[in-house]
Amino acid sequence: MKSLTLQNTSINNTTNLQNSEHVGISINAQDETGLQGTVVAAYGKRYQVELTDTKQRISCVTRGKKTDLACGDFVLVKLTDKEEGVVESTLPRKTLLFRSNAFKSKMLAANVTQIIIVLATQPSFYEALLNRCLIAAEAAGIKALIVLNKCDLTDNHDALRKLELYSKLGYQVLPLSAKLDISSLRPYLQDEVSILVGQSGMGKSTIINALLPSEAVRTQEVSHVLDSGKHTTTAAHLYHLDASSQLIDSPGLQEFGLHHLNTDELEHAFIEFRPFLGKCRFNNCKHLQEPDCAITEALSQDKISAERLAIYKMLRTEISHQIQH
Ligand SMILES: Nc1nc2c(ncn2[C@@H]2O[C@H](COP(=O)(O)OP(=O)(O)OP(=O)(O)O)[C@@H](O)[C@H]2O)c(=O)[nH]1
Ligand SMILES: [Zn+2]
């Protein structure tokens, strides 16, 4: 787990967390620890929290200036009104997905088990963005599924060929058409907390609508609860597919910075590098142009692709322009 936030919580292990639904905290029985809930939407400094026991959705703020909550976070809240509350603490996170530029990092979602990267046959997708998403997922210990949407369009050979590299690496690639039939995606969502990420226009909304035809209703519920007529940017939004499967929607991505990773995390996030790491002549080999580099050697034996090594070098240079942590 990459990062963990634990503030004043009396529940300090995830087993308790998973069993929390059976604890049976009722809305009238708010005690010192507060009510348990899940952050289902993040709107700047306001959060929509679904209470575990009653499933009621309330609008919450955090204490002071703290705004380090992400969609999917398990929290303890104190009610301040019938539909409003204050988040008192965040329970330990199993995973935390970040993206970041040189100046700040942004939490995309907490406690997700799977990242679904949505690509399309048209318009063409940015392969660098795909790689950044895969690297962020590996670094956060989250499995990745690559969806190639719009396969009903005839010209999809280029896209499928590009993705062969990733299926060879071991990533699942699922070609589908959200417009025609979403059913092939459903088994992958079962018992997972999945986040959908992708560039604008790849079909994320179409996928959500196909999976959750009542989404429009939910959107209205959100603005009612937040009592806001304005269009605020949602960082992410969590939907229940069934009792054990959740889906988090995130806004279209144009960039996916990885400045929160250190160089060690970066090289380990390239899954095909792992067998070779620690086998270079120099302990601190950067795998750029050092002699007797196991990664360069693996490239010459076709065990690592030139494309992925080029992406590694680009990212390595990008994240090295900062103080290592
Ligand atoms: N042919 C075809 N078109 C699709 C499919 N899925 C989505 N589209 C179209 O692609 C366009 C973009 O789809 P959206 O679902 O709005 O894409 P998005 O990823 O949510 O984009 P943003 O809202 O900008 O983030 C729309 O015109 C859709 O009708 C598909 O499976 N086949
Ligand atoms: Zn090396």
Could you report the predicted ipTM of this complex, rounded to two decimals?
0.97
CATH 2.40.50.140 fits 14-90, yes or no: yes
Burial, 13: exposed, middle or buried (Cβ in 10 Å; 0-12, 13-18, 19+)? exposed
- pLDDT at position 116: 98
Strands 245-249 and 114-120: unpaired
Using one digit for the tens of pLDDT, what is the confidence trace for 257-304?
A: 888 899 999 999 999 999 999 999 999 999 999 999 999 999 999 999
As a whole number of angstroms, the distance between CA 303 and CA 285 comes to 18
Q: Which of 295-299, 304-308, 319-323 has the lowest mean pLDDT?
A: 319-323
- pLDDT at position 43: 81
Q: Is the CB of 177 under 6 A from ligand 1?
A: yes
Q: Which of 163-172, 202-211, 294-303 has the lowest mean pLDDT?
A: 202-211
Q: Is the pLDDT of residue 21 over 60?
A: no
Q: Residue 42: enclosing H or E segment and its boundaries?
A: strand 35-43
Kindly give the distance from the C-alpha atom of residue 204 to the centroid of ligand 1, in angstroms, as a whole number. 7
Among the atoms of ligand 1, which is closest to the Cα of residue 153?
1
Q: Is the pLDDT of residue 230 over 90?
A: no
Protein residue closest via CA to atom 27 of ligand 1? 201
CATH topology classification for 263-320: Ribonucleotide Reductase Protein R1; domain 1 (1.10.40)
Domain range list for the chain: 14-90, 96-249, 263-320
**Domain at 96-249, CATH from 3.40.50.300, 3.30.420.40, 1.20.1250.20, 3.40.50.740:** 3.40.50.300
Kindly give the distance from the C-alpha atom of residue 295 to the centroid of ligand 2, in angstroms, as a whole number. 5
Kindly give the distance from the C-alpha atom of residue 325 to the centroid of ligand 2, in angstroms, as a whole number. 21
Q: Is the CB of 111 under 6 A from ligand 1?
A: no
Nearest ligand to residue 283 Cα: 2
Residue numbers belonging to the annotated binding site for Zn(2+): 280, 285, 287, 293
- pLDDT at position 32: 56
Mean per-residue pLDDT over the chain, rounded: 83
Kindly give the distance from the C-alpha atom of residue 321 to the centroid of ligand 2, in angstroms, as a whole number. 19
- pLDDT at position 236: 83
Highest mean pLDDT (candidates 59-63, 101-105, 113-117, 213-217): 113-117
Q: For helices 157-169 and 306-320, give the axis angle rounded to 10 degrees.
A: 80
Q: Is the pLDDT of residue 240 over 60?
A: yes
Q: Is the CB of 149 under 6 A from ligand 1?
A: yes
